Amino acid sequence: MTRRTGYIPALHFGWLAPAYDPVMMFLMRERFFKHLLIQRADIRPGHTVLDLACGTATLTIMIKRSQPSATVIGIDGDEGILAIARRKTQRSGCELRLDKGFATALPYPEESFDRVLTSLAMHHLTSEDKRLAMKEIKRVLRRTGWLHIADFGPPIGVYARAIALLLRRLEPVEDNYRGMLPVMMQEVGLVDVNATDKVATVFGTLYLYQGVKPA
Ligand SMILES: C[S@@+](CC[C@H](N)C(=O)[O-])C[C@H]1O[C@@H](n2cnc3c(N)ncnc32)[C@H](O)[C@@H]1O
């Protein structure tokens, strides 16, 4: 299945987009795992940071608030979700840029970013598109720049395995469950790849992965 310029919307159906933030807040321990992701990313003053597949821009805004002198850009393929993100960004008073574009063809020159963060997006991509997206991320990262991913991984425990049966039917999450995200990161040439954290949520076990583009 190829989906280079298409996308699966945030809650699978575009019409559910307005429900996305409440679902995330109440069911996904969103603040907790996104704070952890930002902490792992160790974003420094002056860094340029990409939030890939930013959705409603919750993480994008959190990144900017955590490091106000960083240049922060969010990108997503869905104009509908970006409209929500733009309203939220305006209300937040944060200065950040939101672009429309696809993970598989990022509209940025090589070596543009010190950090790329991406949350709950990889499991929306086909295997082929995951690989293309990883290549694109490596291309736009500066040398010694880090990729930080928060997404589903191998389910831990009976509950997570049961919920995985359902998610498998909805989204191309099989690579995640088979532990392929860190493998794909290594395949494109990122090094020091590891899983730093595992977070239990209503929709399954989230993993935080990181890897660096060699000098
Ligand atoms: C589950 S949401 C996650 C949103 C946000 N990162 C978060 O953590 O709340 C997945 C997002 O990925 C976006 N997406 C899916 N496929 C994409 C692609 N190929 N390129 C860019 N964005 C994509 C969807 O539009 C959606 O906003």
pLDDT tens digits along 80-131 = 999 999 999 999 999 999 999 999 999 999 999 999 999 999 999 999 999 9
Asked whether residue 167 carries a pLDDT value surpassing 80, the answer given is: yes
* Sequence-separated (6 or more) residues with CB below 8 Å from residue 120: 28, 53, 55, 150, 151, 152
pLDDT tier at 140, thresholds 50, 70, 90:
very high
Q: How many domains does the chain have?
A: 1
The dihedral through the CA atoms of 170, 10, 142, 44 has a sign that is negative
Q: Is 78 a domain residue?
A: yes
Its domain, for residue 110, covers: 14-212
Q: Is 7 a domain residue?
A: no
Closest CA to 49 of 65, 28, 25, 32: 65
Residues in contact with ligand 1 (CB, 6 Å cut-off)? 7-10, 24, 53-55, 58-59, 76-78, 81, 102-104, 119-121, 124-125
- Return the CATH number at 66: 3.40.50.150
Q: Is 9 a domain residue?
A: no
Q: Is 80 a domain residue?
A: yes
Query: How close is the Cα of 10 to the center of ligand 1, in Å?
Result: 6
Residue 99 is inside which H or E element, if any?
strand 97-100
Q: Is 1 a domain residue?
A: no
Q: Is 2 a domain residue?
A: no
Q: Is 67 a domain residue?
A: yes
Q: Is 65 a domain residue?
A: yes
